Amino acid sequence: MIDLIELYPEHLKNPTIIEILRVLNVQLAEEEEGIENLIKEFNISTATNSLPLWAKFVGIEYNDEIDIEIMRSNILAGLMSNQVTTVKVIKEIAEKYSNGTCEVIENYADYSFIVRFTSTVGIPLKLDEIKKSIDRVKPAHLNYKFEFIYRTWGDIKKLGLTWGQWFALNRTFKELRERSDLL
């Protein structure tokens, strides 16, 4: 930010002028911050106050009780629903919500597809949101299912701890098998 006091000629500075310039500096800083915040509202991934407008624009209901990141993902999925549904669109939806990678396998014979999560261990925390978004964009005649990755006991043993050590850490086999956030 530009400091108006530094730009003002030395021979014209007096306490009154310096105070006026100081107040103007504060006002300019507030205006710059306001402009930066406004610019953030034009991008769904950084918007906060305009999310209800974005939700209305894409035709979904805004819910301020759910996490803001989930709401942003819902809005982005709503924007994608206006596209022609392709494997790429479904893949992007699943990856946005799962924070991992996946692949979509088409089964033409039975009018279905499989969303296989390839980097997320267990069931993604936002699976319900993934389902809602996919249901919004997919053609009505297509069915789908999900495939998940789980750890085996052999995978867990490779981490170097015995079952007794895992138990001492208050970890159940189900948690170790299904949750990627624990390791």
- Give the residue numbers spanning the domain of 23: 4-41
78 and 156, same domain (yes or no): no
Q: Along the 183 residues of the chain, how does pLDDT read in single tens digits?
A: 778 778 778 877 889 988 988 899 999 999 999 999 999 999 998 999 999 999 888 888 888 888 888 888 888 877 776 667 889 889 988 988 888 899 999 999 999 999 999 988 888 888 888 898 898 888 889 999 999 988 888 888 888 888 888 888 888 888 888 877 666
Rounded to an integer, what distance in angstroms lies between the CA atom of residue 26 and that of residue 4? 10
140 and 67, same domain (yes or no): yes
Name, in order, each residue with C-beta under 8 angstroms of 159's C-beta and a sequence gap of 6 or more: 183
- Strand (E) positions, 23-64? none
136 and 75, same domain (yes or no): yes
Residue 122 lies in a domain: yes
Total Cβ atoms within 10 A of residue 76: 19
144 and 123, same domain (yes or no): yes
Rounded to an integer, what distance in angstroms lies between the CA atom of residue 68 and that of residue 60? 14
56 and 143, same domain (yes or no): yes
